[in-house]
Chains A and B, each alone.
Chain A
Amino acid sequence: MTGALLDIEDLRVTFTGRGHGREVQAVDGVTYSVYAGQTLAIVGESGSGKTVSCRALMGLLPPTATITGSARFQGIQLIGLSDDRLREHRGANVAMVFQDPARSLNPTMRVGAQIAEAVRAHRTVTKAQAREQAVDLLRQVHIPLPERRCSEYPHQLSGGMRQRVMIAIALACRPRLLIADEATTALDVTTQAQIMELLLELQAELGMALMLISHDLGLAGAYADEVIVMYAGRIVEQAPAAELAGHVRMPYTQALFEAIPRLERPAHAPLQVIGGRPPDPAALPQGCAFEPRCRLAADDCRAAAPPLAEHEPGHRWACWHPQGGAGGMGPPGEKGSRS
């Protein structure tokens, strides 16, 4: 597929353990593409495989993971790459920002030193140059008084600031793709808004592609161009954000929309919930993984897993009995409007 920055095809990740035969299928055949300058959101609950699939791209999974399939970054196959090549690729091409900045930053190292370390990992510059670039990067992420901040330790910064530092580290070598793995989950809503705006601004400035991994469908809908919904290791629906907001097809996506409390709803209105839990990834069913919880399920759903296909232009889903075209959050443009 031409033009895509990142092409994932039938990515599968299995975890095996010693001493027993059980295999855990964390990612069960995922196919999608990311284009330069695009913002793609991958949404799912815990256990959906969204985090595992992205860490597979970065080579950050433990040795118990078996990765198959294809993940091409600008033509280079990432699966099976040697450690050295992966290290070059990490940071230079693809960078990642994680959820908990308190744990992702080294508490015993000054902030400036950590950014400089990232810079020197991929470019041959002197210590002084790296330090200068660190200050520049802090300025780019809108941290006030960047020279002073460089000599501070992570615990002296607030959560939002630490996350900005993480972003600065991620940007150190101008990656083509930035993956934000639940990067704003642990932040306050006002800080989250600031960080999201920063990411979009940087994306425009640097021409990066941005992948948002989140459990928050609202966040995805608001900030992404394209949204992928994952369940039990598979993609169940994919569409442009605006389209998804108005025309949800997969009953699971619909359930996610309905379960989120929204400002527009009146107080005490009962939330539509579905019972049950996602399937055990060590024992995925043959048919549709969502079938036991689906209100539209029928016999053919148990027999075979529906394939992901583009049933409407730009809108893919994997369902034998998709619901009609309405639902979701309502047509775009009406979000948040108040009389």
Chain B
Amino acid sequence: MSAPLPELLAPGTEPAVARASRARGRGRARNLRVWLSAGFLIVLVCACFLWPLVYPVPKPTGGSILESGLPPLSPGHIFGTDPVGNDVFSRILYGGRVSFEVGVSVTAIGLVIGGVLGTAAGYWGGAVDTVIMRVLDVLIAFPALVLALAIAEGLGPSEMHVIWALSFFSIPAFGRIARSATLALRGQTFMLAARLSGTSRRRIILRHVVPNIMPQLLTFSLLGIGVAIILEGALSFLGLGIPLPEPSWGSMIAQGQGTLSASPELVLIPSAFLFVTVVALNVLGDALRERWAR
């Protein structure tokens, strides 16, 4: 299908058809990025959650001291073992579960709560906008680390608490994105046209606003998962997150510090997984943003 020639009076330096043609070429490269990164993430998530169910894997905790300190590619322990005797590969898988659980939960909470609040603020404006934005400002004013520390001290560290603490960040972040996207939309003529067609406010929000701001929110979500995973890693590294001996990529890095010169792989392997996961999320997020911004 050849790109239609717009008859709009918009002289540019390059004919629209040429731009469209070039865009299609870029599109194929973009598709590759989408598939590669999405594919990688799907494989990783499936591995973390499903592998131990279908294929026996040594437990991530309670390892035997007899097997401590094995190097990678030892029989039965493909990534070796840590000083306490736990299988590193298994800990990577279970730690990955934590990362994804936290990353997705925090983002989902932000998307739903922040998204709804932000859209309402942007659409109704006025007093509603002011109130919601002040509430979000309060949330964002909490320093996350102090909050996490307080929660960990007061209630004891756990995965749930990490999710709560990080949500203090993600809700206002999504709120702002949703609000500015909605505001940008409000000025569009088709919104006025929808009102003049008689469409109710509720239907306008559901059928016009949401579908149009969704791409931005979803893209932000993917990038947000990456951020949340890193933050969880940092919190666990500081001992404020997932309590030992439960594995988390962050706490594995922290533990591995002690034996850095002797067994650097204990730090490098979880770092590598953390890095590659976040990069894949970013690549996917960018590629989807480009595609949806057409």
Contacts and interface: CB of A to CB of B under 8 A. Distances in A.
Interface of A: 15, 17-20, 22, 24, 26, 45-47, 49, 51-52, 55, 60-62, 64-65, 99, 181-182, 185, 215, 277-278, 280-283
B198 interface: no
A281 B13 contact: no
B29 to A, nearest CB: 7
Nearest to B11: A51
A282 B2 contact: yes
A99 B21 CA distance: 25
Contacts of A26: 14-15, 18
B16 A17 contact: no
B7 A181 contact: no
A277 B21 contact: no
Contacts of B56: none
B25 interface: yes
B6 interface: yes
B7 A52 contact: no
Contacts of A60: 13
B2 A65 contact: no
A17 B11 contact: no
Contacts of A15: 14-15, 18, 21-22
Counting from the closest, the 6 A-B pairs by CB-CB distance are A19-B25, A17-B22, A15-B18, A24-B18, A51-B11, A20-B25
20 contacts: A17-B22, A17-B24, A19-B24, A19-B25, A20-B28, A24-B21, A46-B8, A46-B10, A46-B16, A49-B15, A51-B11, A52-B13, A55-B13, A62-B14, A181-B11, A185-B9, A278-B5, A280-B2, A280-B17, A282-B18
Contacts of A51: 11-13
B15 A99 contact: no
Contact of B15 (A19, A20, A47, A283): A47
Contacts of A46: 5-11, 16
B207 interface: no
Main secondary structure of the interface of A (DSSP, over half): loop
A24 B10 contact: no
Contact of A24 (B15, B25, B28): B15
A283 B26 CA distance: 21
Interface in B1-52: 2, 5-18, 21-22, 24-26, 28-29
Q: Which of A49, A51, A181, A215 gathers most chain B CB within 10 Å?
A: A51
A19 B29 contact: yes
Contacts of B26: 18-19
B76 to A, nearest CB: 47
Interface in B227-262: none
B17 A19 contact: no
Given A17-B24, A215-B9, 20 more contacts: A17-B18, A20-B21, A20-B24, A20-B28, A22-B21, A26-B15, A45-B7, A46-B5, A47-B15, A49-B15, A60-B13, A62-B14, A65-B14, A181-B11, A182-B9, A182-B11, A185-B9, A278-B5, A281-B17, A282-B2
Contacts of B9: 46, 182, 185, 215
Contacts of A182: 9, 11
Contacts of B5: 46-47, 277-278, 280
Contacts of A215: 9
Contacts of A181: 11
Contacts of A49: 15
A99 B22 contact: no
B11 A99 contact: yes
B16 A47 contact: yes
Contacts of A282: 2, 17-18, 21
Contacts of A45: 7
B15 A18 contact: no
B143 to A, nearest CB: 35
B6 to A, nearest CB: 7
A55 B13 CA distance: 7
Contacts of A20: 21-22, 24-25, 28
A298 to B, nearest CB: 26
A282 B10 CA distance: 19
Contacts of B13: 51-52, 55, 60-62
A64 B13 CA distance: 11
Contacts of B15: 15, 24, 26, 47, 49, 52, 281
Contacts of B7: 45-46, 277
A289 to B, nearest CB: 13
Contacts of A64: 14, 18, 22
A45 B5 CA distance: 11
Nearest to B15: A26
Contacts of A99: 11
A47 B17 CA distance: 9
Nearest to B24: A20
A55 B8 CA distance: 19
Highest count of chain A CB atoms <10 Å: which of B6, B25, B28: B25
A282 B5 CA distance: 11
A37 B14 CA distance: 30
A283 B11 contact: no
Contacts of A281: 15, 17-18
Contacts of A17: 18, 21-22, 24-25
A181 B12 CA distance: 10
Contacts of B12: 51
Contacts of A65: 14
A215 B8 CA distance: 11
A51 B24 CA distance: 24
Contacts of B14: 15, 26, 52, 61-62, 64-65
Contacts of B8: 46
